Amino acid sequence: MSCQTCHYCLEIKNNFSLMGKSRAKNGRLLCYHLCPSCTQKLIGINSFSDREGRQFFINTVKENAQKNPIYVDE
């Protein structure tokens, strides 16, 4: 996985519409990226108040980000 990879669909992209950080188990900040298509999926899940779907989506993103971590300073 390269740093150009969407952390949900795992496709290599040139642009990301959502980037964020999450605290990793080691205490460092772990970066994640979502492509426009996956960002729309997340927005759709949030708009239907699907808590299970949202949690599954977020857990998948975090797991994929941890497999090839990109850390940033606070």
Amino acid code (one letter) for 57: F
pLDDT at 73: 74
Which band of pLDDT confidence, cut at 50, 70 and 90, is reported for residue 71?
A: confident
Each residue's pLDDT tens digit, 44-59: 998 887 889 999 999 9
Distance, CA of 46 to CA of 40 (rounded, Å): 10
Question: pTM for the full model?
Answer: 0.81
